Amino acid sequence: TDADKGIVIPDDWPGYPLDLFSFPEHYSEDLECVYIPHGVIMDRTERLARNIMDDLGDHDIVVLCVLKGGYQFCADLVDCIKVLCRNSNKTLPMRVDFIRLKSYLNDQSTQVLHIEGAENLSALSGKNVLIVEAIVDTGKTMKTLLDHVEAFRPKMIKVAGLLVKQVPSGTGYLPDYVGFEIPNRFVVGYALDYNEYFRDLNHICVISDRGKQKYKI
Ligand code: 5GP
């Protein structure tokens, strides 16, 4: 259904002018526009939390946060689920675990994917696992991670992805819960980085050419 793709941001969406929002002064030259304001991210996350509760409520789950980019989304999603648990008769006992992946240099996906913290995933055996990832681009990272997690024989695996890119070359992989489907542009902020910069930006923004040059390795 349409809801599976989340909020679809069209190809010609120009974003909002930067000066309509506040953001860290040190990035004033490095951004093109505010693509998804922080408040909209939070509102969408609140709804994803409800969908997750509807599907998984009364089960025990292990939330597997994919670092580093996924930390903010994971923290906010878990917070939203906690609020729902406090204010309804449903419960969703959660554990939170972390895994670290790295595949990007500058704004290009590299072939090699490093998984750190993957050794001790035996705790996932027989559990309901919710993988929380900030962005799915070609889907290669998620496919590798899913193969890896499946090897530990969890009872169930669901994936929540805040952003999914419309990439023709992609694997067509769609997470179970999607925040936004976005055009093929490189975005930063809300814990998404460019060579470790921009994690301290609350909105999701498009980086400017100047920003790309400035923080290039
Ligand atoms: P995939 O394997 O799906 O092509 O790549 C997924 C990974 O690439 C994500 O986990 C993320 O680290 C990185 N990535 C892909 N697109 C973007 C983007 O627009 N901005 C940032 N900051 N990282 C991205």
Q: Could you report the predicted ipTM of this complex, rounded to two decimals?
A: 0.96
Cα-based angle 10, 201, 184 (whole degrees, multiple of 5): 25
Place of tokens 């030259």: 29
Q: Is residue 46 part of a domain?
A: yes
Residue nearest to atom 11 of ligand 1 (CA): 135
Report the separation in Å between the CA atom of 183 and the middle of ligand 1, taken as the mean of its atom positions: 13
Torsion from C-alpha of 144, 146, 148, 154, nearest 10 degrees: 180
Write the CATH number for 90. Answer: 3.40.50.2020
3-state secondary structure of 206: strand
In this prediction the pTM is: 0.93
Residue nearest to atom 13 of ligand 1 (CA): 104
pLDDT in tens, 65-99: 999 999 999 999 999 999 999 998 888 999 999 99
Q: Is residue 211 part of a domain?
A: no
pLDDT in tens, 21-37: 999 999 999 999 999 99
- Percent of the chain predicted with pLDDT > 90: 73
- Total domains in the chain come to 1
Q: Measuring from each residue's beta carbon to the nearest atom of ligand 1, which residues come in under 6 Å?
A: 69, 103-104, 109, 135-142, 186-188, 192-194
Q: Is residue 58 part of a domain?
A: yes
| Each residue's pLDDT expressed in tens, for the chain with a length of 217 residues | 666 889 999 999 999 999 999 999 999 999 999 999 999 999 999 999 999 999 998 889 999 999 999 999 999 999 999 999 999 888 899 999 999 987 656 677 666 677 887 677 888 999 999 999 999 998 888 988 999 899 999 999 999 999 999 877 667 789 999 999 999 999 999 999 999 999 999 999 999 999 999 999 9
In sequence order, the 6+-apart residues with CB closer than 8 A to the CB of 62 are: 94, 95, 96, 97, 123, 124, 127, 128, 129, 130, 154
Closest atom of ligand 1 to CA, residue 135: 9
Residue nearest to atom 17 of ligand 1 (CA): 186
Report the separation in Å between the CA atom of 135 and the middle of ligand 1, taken as the mean of its atom positions: 6
Q: Is residue 94 part of a domain?
A: yes
Q: Is residue 25 part of a domain?
A: no
The parent domain of residue 166 ranges over 2-8+37-183
Q: Is residue 170 part of a domain?
A: yes
Considering the candidates 12, 60, 107, 137, report the single residue annotated as catalytic: 137
Closest atom of ligand 1 to CA, residue 171: 3
Q: Is residue 88 part of a domain?
A: yes
What gap in Å lies between CA 154 and CA 172, rounded to an integer? Answer: 23
Tell me the chain's radius of gyration from C-alpha atoms: 17
Q: Is residue 118 part of a domain?
A: yes
Q: What is the pLDDT of residue 166?
A: 86
Query: Which contacts of 88-91 are long-range, i.e. CB under 8 A and separated by 24 or more positions?
Result: 88/53, 90/53, 90/57, 90/58, 91/57, 91/58
**Residue 79 annotated as catalytic:** no
